[in-house]
């Protein structure tokens, strides 16, 4: 699926030369309403001219947990304008060649698993619940079983806050006697593996517990 307000031949010329079944729609929020029904294997968002709108559309895809990889079309000078790494799985430009675009699409589908409901996504983070593979902006994370299960539980319920005792019951089970400090230790380890740039994907709510965040979106001006 290609979301753009320009003609495809102008926005991403190599796309028209590839033997791909591509549905083209306008760059607007309501274009996402039927995304799952279309069964798209990838979404390409043209943010080269309308960067803010493109970012908002990609942030909405991440927030809705659409399980498809997202590619941003950006101008060569537009990389620092928004935190694209939070909402895009890959970035191309209108001058990208056809062989490179095809290779990127194939690599991206393989990287995120291309297994439908087996893949959970939150921004640049993807979790494959069948293979237990976790990737962050293309980088594989090595997690323990409980780290994976804790991350999976939170990512599956973005924005919802869970207390430490509730997380112990849901992730470790009723017969675990390690104490709530176990949750804090695992969250700390997860954040260390996510790295400073992405540790905010797990938020602390003071006096309550933890939640999975959703990617930041620019405020309307």
Q: Which residue stretches of the chain are H helix? A: 8-11, 35-38, 51-63, 98-111, 145-155, 164-167, 181-194
Query: At 115, is the pLDDT very low, low, confident or very high (cuts 50, 70, 90)?
Result: very low
What domain count does the chain have?
2
Q: What is the distance between the alpha carbons of residues 25 and 34, in angstroms, rounded to a whole number?
A: 11
Percent of the chain with pLDDT over 70: 85
Q: What is the structure's pLDDT at 195?
A: 93
Which region among 79-93, 111-125, 161-175 has the lowest average model confidence (pLDDT)? 111-125
Kindly state whether residue 131 falls inside one of the protein's structural domains.
no
Contact assessment for residue 191 and residue 199, using Cβ atoms and an 8 Å cutoff: yes
Say yes or no: 109 and 41 in one domain. Answer: yes
Domain with 148, as residue range(s), is 142-212
Q: Which helix (H) or strand (E) holds 3?
A: strand 2-3
pLDDT of residue 162: 95
- Give the pLDDT mean for 19-36: 81
The pLDDT of 162-174, averaged and rounded, is 85
135 located within any domain: no
Residue with tokens 């060569």: 76
For residues 22 and 46, which has the higher predicted lDDT (pLDDT)? Answer: 46
Asked if the model's pLDDT at residue 42 lies above 50, the reply is yes
User: Is residue 125 within 8 Å of 178, Cβ to Cβ?
Assistant: no
Name the token pair of 41.
């294997």
pLDDT over 90 for what percent of the chain? 29
Q: Is residue 219 part of a domain?
A: no
């Amino acid at each position: 699926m290609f979301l753009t307000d320009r003609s495809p031949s102008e926005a991403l010329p190599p796309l028209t030369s590839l033997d791909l079944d591509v549905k083209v729609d306008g760059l607007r929020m309501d274009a996402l309403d039927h995304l799952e029904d279309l069964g798209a294997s990838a979404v390409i968002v043209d943010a080269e001219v309308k960067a803010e709108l493109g970012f908002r559309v990609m942030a909405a895809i991440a927030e809705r947990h659409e399980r498809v990889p997202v590619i941003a079309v950006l101008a060569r000078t537009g990389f620092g304008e928004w935190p694209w790494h939070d909402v895009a799985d890959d970035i191309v430009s209108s001058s990208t060649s056809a062989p490179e675009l095809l290779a990127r699409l194939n690599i991206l589908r393989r990287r995120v698993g291309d297994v439908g409901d087996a893949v959970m996504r939150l921004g640049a983070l993807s979790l494959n619940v069948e293979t237990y593979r976790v990737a962050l902006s293309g980088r594989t994370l090595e997690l323990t079983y409980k780290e994976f299960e804790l991350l999976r539980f939170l990512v599956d319920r973005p924005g919802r806050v869970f207390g430490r005792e509730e997380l112990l019951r849901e992730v470790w089970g009723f017969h675990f006697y390690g104490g709530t400090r176990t949750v804090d230790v695992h969250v700390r380890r997860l954040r260390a593996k996510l790295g400073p740039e992405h540790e905010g994907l797990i938020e602390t709510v003071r006096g309550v517990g933890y939640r999975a965040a959703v990617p930041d979106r620019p405020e309307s001006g």
